[in-house]
Amino acid sequence: DVKVTQSSRYLVKRTGEKVFLECVQDMDHENMFWYRQDPGLGLRLIYFSYDVKMKEKGDIPEGYSVSREKKERFSLILESASTNQTSMYLCASSFDRRGQNYGYTFGSGTRLTVV
Amino acid sequence: DQQVKQNSPSLSVQEGRISILNCDYTNSMFDYFLWYKKYPAEGPTFLISISSIKDKNEDGRFTVFLNKSAKHLSLHIVPSQPGDSAVYFCAATFYSFAGNKLTFGGGTRVLVKP
């Protein structure tokens, strides 16, 4: 069964801390994504990567950075956590083949609380 | 500016009846549309999709309808079951060499009453 694994289900961090959220997929997918989910706002794209060492900004990249050194791993970094980054963070991956199902496989999410 | 909108934040329906979820989009470049289902404390799971060359796609109890001229799609669940109680997200995309980004709507919370 294909899997996207996020390293933590729940995290509590202090304002100003540097935070790392890790995501690993075992499907050899080219694309990986980081979204955050907030009530009423749906899922908003933070960053994505379509190849190793490649990254593209999504709709809300401010305050975040990413790293993709290996195909299976995509890390989201909060350089200096703030309370408005309290959210559910979802990692996803997908193939990059025209004509195929564009669907993502999501991880279970990390609920981050910044205090 | 939200390119994908789900105007109903919640929906309550009796078990056995039809659930209809609606979604509107503004970007004419979108050519593929998907619905995801999400339970609390879990990641979204793919439910059903439709290409812009079709106007209907069916999978068991789930049917998605696409009206391109109106930039509108809907998801019908018939019959609704208590296990269908979840948040449903509409999503849209178009092909790009730099990966297939999905743009999601705000979600509709469905409650199916026994």
User: What DSSP string describes B13-71?
Assistant: EETTS-EEEEEEE--TT--EEEEEEE-TTS--EEEEEEETT-SEEEETTEEEEEETTTT
Give residue A99's pLDDT band: very low, low, confident or very high (50, 70, 90): very low
A48 and B44: CB-CB below 8 Å?
no
Instruction: Tally C-beta pairs within 8 A across A and B.
Output: 73
Q: Which of B37, B51, B48, B47 is nearest to B93 (CA)?
A: B51
Neighbours of B40 (CB within 10 A): 8
B43 and A40: CB-CB below 8 Å?
no
Mean pLDDT of chain A: 91
Question: One-letter amino acid identity for A49?
Answer: S
Q: What is the pLDDT of residues B57-92, one digit of tens each?
A: 999 999 999 999 999 999 999 999 999 999 999 999
Question: What integer is the mean pLDDT of A3-17?
Answer: 94
Question: What integer is the mean pLDDT of A70-82?
Answer: 96
B44 and A49: CB-CB below 8 Å?
no
Contacts of B104 in chain A (CB under 8 A): 35, 42-44
Q: Which residue has the higher pLDDT, A44 or A104?
A: A44
Contacts of A42 in chain B (CB under 8 A): 4, 6, 89, 104-107
- Find, in chain B, the residue whose alpha carbon is nearest to that of A41: B106
Question: One-letter amino acid identity for A101?
Answer: N
Contacts of B20 (CB under 8 A, 6+ apart): B11, B74, B75, B76, B77
Give residue A27's pLDDT band: very low, low, confident or very high (50, 70, 90): confident
| A96 in contact with B, Cβ within 8 Å | yes
| B19 in contact with A, Cβ within 8 Å | no
User: Rounded to whole angstroms, what are the CA distances from A30 to A67, A71, A73, B16?
Assistant: 14, 7, 11, 41
